[in-house]
Amino acid sequence: MKIPRSTSSRLLALLPATALAAGLLAGCSDDTAPDAGSSASASASVDATEQVAENLSEFSYPGEDGKTALELLQEKDPDAQVQGEGENAYVTAIRGREADPATEFWGLYVDDELAQVGAGSLETEDGQTITWKLEEIEQ
């Protein structure tokens, strides 16, 4: 013979199962915010791309035999802004960070040495480090 449970005892029996289900759902949420160890930081109200562009002052990549610094830049950052072409190319923005033409420019370095030619002329080599640095124009 079965003894009917009271309504309150049924609710108490469901409480742990409900709490467990809520906890599991919270743990499976699609939270895309970067963790504290992430190299890119962004606030909830600012797009991560905007945050990177705002703070970017240096951008590096490895050289490759047979490719120019400009070709590699355009591979690593397809949205890089360039005025002119080839030997006459002048980089004006990298990763969304535009140099202020009145006060800044993107300087090109190879292994921490200022390049002696432009990005479209600089043939890179395996093992080199190509770095673009946002620099101030000396007045």
Q: For position 52, what pLDDT does the model report?
A: 58
Asked if residue 79 belongs to a domain, the reply is yes
Q: Is residue 71 part of a domain?
A: yes
User: Which is nearest to 132 in space by CA: 88, 81, 91?
Assistant: 91
pLDDT of residue 60: 96
Number of structural domains (the chain) is 1
Spatial separation of the C-alpha atoms in residues 128 and 120, rounded to whole Å? 16
Would you put residue 29 in left (φ > 0), alpha (ψ -120 to 50) or beta?
A: beta
The pLDDT of residue 55: 78
Residue 28 lies in a domain: no
25-40 residue pLDDT tens: 344 444 444 444 333 3
**Does residue 46 fall inside a structural domain?**
no
pTM confidence score = 0.62
Q: What is the pLDDT of residues 76-134, one digit of tens each?
A: 999 999 999 988 999 999 999 999 999 999 999 999 999 999 999 999 999 999 999 99
Task: Specify the CATH number for the domain of residue 77.
Answer: 2.170.130.30
